[in-house]
Amino acid sequence: MEVIHLSFWDWIIIVLYFGFVIGLGWYLKKFADTKEDFFLAGRKNSLWVCSIAFVSANLGALEILGWTGGTVKYGMFVSHFYWIGAIPAMIFLGLYMMPFYYSSRIHSIPGYLLLRFDEKSRLLNAISFAIMTVLMSGINLYLMALVFHTILGWNWDVCMWVSAAAVASYIALGGLLSAILTETLQFFLIWFGLFLVSILGLLDVGGFSGLFEGLPERMTSLWATAGNPGNNPMGVTWYGIAIGLGFVLSFGYWTTDFLIVQRAFAAKDLQTARLTPIVASFFKMALPFIVVVAGLVAYKLAQTGVIAFTRDASGNVNYDSALPLLIARYYPSGLLGLGITALLAGFMAGQAGNTSAFNTVFTYDIYKAAIKKDASDQHLVLVGRVITVVGILLSVVTAYVAKSFPTIMDYIQAIFSWVNAPLFATMLLGMFWKRTTSEGAFWGLIAGMLTSFTLFLAFKFKWFSCEWYYYLTFMPSSRSLCPAIPSDMTLNLWQAAWAWIVCFVLTIIISLFTKPKSDEELQGLVKGLTPNPDLEKVPLYRRPLTWAVVSMAVLIFLNVYFW
Amino acid sequence: METTKKMIPVWFWVGLMMVVYGILIVGIGVYYLVSPPQGYAAKWTNPNLWWGLIMLVVGGVFMFLGRNKKESN
């Protein structure tokens, strides 16, 4: 594909956005002087702001580009990542886990581990989270620069440094408050900048009926082809999706990833914090109307030779070029600037989310816990500001490493499931089984992370014979497919599931042989020792359960409708 | 907190951003009425005009809603 050329007005729109978010950072600085303001956005935010920020922290530009391209490759199966792979976990967080998080007045997820278990579990999680966040942030930075270099011909270094500097400046100035408010701006920019691609695409191909006409069932169904991994392009089974994605990966991410959950901690009260992920679930469910519709339009146009995806240096098709190709096809000058700004804003908000979570965990769970226990409020805010800049610089270094050694990205992206999948088992047991001990949690977590890491290496370097791949992914009847091994997606899902199982089982076994904390120490942290939120005076339409039921009903309807 | 009460709500900023972008994009759309651009979509619609107008209206509503609230976000 030829690079897209921007007009003067497109540039004005992009520059205005940079001016806008940096100006907002300066404006918010005076509201972010205390540690509560800087690290928790003052704990005074409304339901709508928290919900939008909650979903936006996950709504990076690379996610949108990646899953639009993913739709070209996998069809509507991609919707699983937005529906069953997100909604039940978000509802579970709001209904059952948020009371423990919010009521204990913690600043971070590692902070909960300290209260519920001990210092070593907190430090293990804080350090692994901090490393994961910086590395992921660096990968995102590299991929973002690569995308803009490819589609717009922008200079790689300038693109990276300018966006990194912008994020560093507004997060260092306004902390989480800046992150949350710019995430709110970005949410609207994404919808106004990219939804029009789907609308114009649908108009172009003759509406939904024209879009689905002639497409094979494997591209347009959610479950109909999930009975046999050979029948769907993702190569997964229905139980792989339900257990690996719908339970382990999804719950691991949406309920324990501090980057996401931090947005609910910033809510003005417990009721708002509980509703935050539940209301966000509606926004999340709507996203396939951008991502999947655009992906299917691109698939349809590519089939008829109207558009042609780019190829990388090795000749492999680059499906991520789908959305930029549609933007180039449908957007004239003006809207083009808006579309590119939406992608940039999406990237910067993702970077800001990483940075604000990193500065909080580093300041509270590493610096204050291990370096300066008696630090004052002002000192912590200063450390938060400095570490914001340091974190961004480390991301830039990671991006340069990734640029020099692209294969390293596989390892860094795998870190995600090393950390999150087993942590969900620890949290689940910690919150709902008071017998769980500190020793059980710590060693279970270590074992889970090691399991995930070992399986990643074993799958990557083919340590097992082919049959074992099918036993480990619970598809023994498919081992006749050898020497072909299961798809990467299947291996990722079951790698996380095994990590979860090992952590869960080992934590229980060790806990049964070690001394638990007393009931007094666990007040407010464990089910049965935490008072239920008083909802008697709350009207039905404001109750989390009401909206959780509505959200689940919509989820079921969508799955049945697109079965 | 005293500072909290003085903060301009985020909805005002969201509205302001959309109004500014809406004005720019509608302006470009009007220009395209007299001088249509090259490109596929422009052959059958002028998306700058109608999408820009939608942004302008939605942005205006957000600014209106956020105008007098001196509360938190």
pLDDT digits (tens, 9 = 90+) for B53-62: 999 999 999 9
Q: Would A387 be classed as within a structural domain?
A: yes
Length of chain A: 563
Q: Provide, as residue numbers in chain B, all residues whose Cβ is less than 8 Å from the Cβ of A179.
A: none
DSSP A267: B
Let me know if residue B29 belongs to a domain: yes
* Nearest CA among A260, A192, A263, A254 for reference residue A47: A263
Question: What number of other Cβ atoms are within 10 A of residue A286's Cβ?
Answer: 14
Contact A196, B47 (CB under 8 A): yes
Into how many domains does chain A fold?
Answer: 1
In this predicted structure, what is the pLDDT of residue B1?
37
Interface size, chain A vs chain B, as Cβ–Cβ contacts under 8 Å: 87
CA dihedral A147, A86, A348, A260 (to 10 degrees): -150
pLDDT of A414:
66
Q: What is the pLDDT of residue A511?
A: 93
Alpha-carbon distance B25 to nearest alpha carbon in chain A (angstroms) = 6
Is residue B24 one of the residues assigned to a domain?
Answer: yes
Distance CA B27, CA A320 (A): 32
Name the residue in chain A with its Cα closest to that of B53: A192
A45 touches chain B (CB under 8 A): yes
Look up the domain containing B28 and give its range: 11-37+45-66
B57 in a structural domain: yes
Total domains present in chain B: 1
Position B72 in a domain: no
Which value, to the nearest 10 degrees, does the dihedral of the CA atoms of residues A132, A134, A137, A143 take? -90
pLDDT of the residue at B23: 94
Which value does ipTM take for this structure?
0.87
**The pair of three-digit structure tokens given for residue A420, joined into one six-digit string:** 């999150």
A391 found inside a domain: yes
DSSP assignment, residue A367?
I
B56 part of a folded domain? yes
What does the alpha-carbon distance between residue A248 and residue A500 come to, in Å, rounded to a whole number? 7
* Domain coverage including residue A172: 8-213+258-406
* A132 domain residue, yes or no: yes
Instruction: Give the model confidence (pLDDT) of A85-124 as tens digits.
Output: 899 999 999 988 888 888 777 888 888 888 889 889 888 8
In a domain, A18, yes or no: yes
- Residue ranges, chain A, pLDDT below 70: 1-2, 62, 406-414, 416-417, 533-536
CATH number, domain containing residue A345: 1.20.1730.10
pLDDT of residue A226: 74
Residue to mutate among B18, B50, B51, with most A CBs inside 10 A, is B51
Q: What is the mean pLDDT of chain B?
A: 80
Q: How confident is residue B2, by pLDDT bands cut at 50, 70 and 90? A: very low
A140 min Cα distance to partner chain B (Å): 25
Residue that wins the pLDDT comparison between B73 and A72: A72
B3 falls within a domain: no
